[in-house]
Structure 1
Amino acid sequence: MNPRLNYTQSSPETLDTMMQLEHYARSRGIDKSLYDLIKIRASQINGCAFCIDMHAKDLQAMGESIDRILLLSVWREVPIYTDKEKAVLELTEYVTRISESGLPDDVYERVRAHVDEKEFMDLIMTINTINCWNRIAISTRMYPGCFL
């Protein structure tokens, strides 16, 4: 498999726009580990190997345990995530699959038990940002190391 195109070369404006969105999401004060857990979980759902690889390596570089990275797709089955992380991972799943059932009230309430309205919106923007990155990477057939 080869990438369809290198969007950073064919459309630098796309990269500039996405980097502005990324900068906004990163600047909101979300814990860095949680930020990358969100990115990996959405990327797992979307099937984006490029983004899973990138954010797993980011977490490893920060010293995150390999168990918390490898077991992320089964976060409900293991006791290694905090209640807040579990609520945010559930939010990530529902927002990533928004067309299937929207965002149920009980999921919203579980997240709001841990965050205020501002942080809730910061989480939504983070989830939206990684979903946008995933759609670019998947549509252009990016994979880990494809542009090295």
Structure 2
Amino acid sequence: MTGPEIEADHLASRLRLAVGRLHRRIRLASNDIPPLQLSTLVSIERHGPVRLGELAQREAVSPPTMSRVLAALDERGLIARTPDTADARSVRVALSAAGAHALAQVRGRRTALLDARLARLDAAQRATLRAALPVLEALIDDVPEPRPAG
């Protein structure tokens, strides 16, 4: 590896560690809903009333696993099941008012935790982070990798 390649590798490693550790700390701020249940609630919120099979596929779990997740969410009153008008044997799952409220609470706690951590930074550090946000957001977008010439 050349100097720039080593520097890029080091940057990628440090960024991966920092983002991963920060994500873990933020995620732990809302541990009252297990991760798969929380992810399922977000999927339901984003994709509207959905069938169990679609949720299982979106969450990359088996239908029996998703059935257990939905049972736990239903027991807590976080989802509402409605008949599927296209298939009488099936139901669609939507967020209940309690589910929407629970998601808002989780997001609020996570934002508060991050606000508290940001408050520990001085004004120059916050300005640097603010200036870096477009770059970090660009890393999120899926961009096709360049194809080799030839």
TM-score range, shorter chain: 0.3 to 0.5
Higher-Rg structure is 2
Choose between structure 1 and 2: higher strand proportion.
Answer: 2
Higher relative contact order (CA 8 A, sep 6+): 1
TM-score (norm 2): 0.34
Give TM-score scaled by structure 1 length: 0.35
Hey, which of these two has a bigger chunk of helix by percent?
1
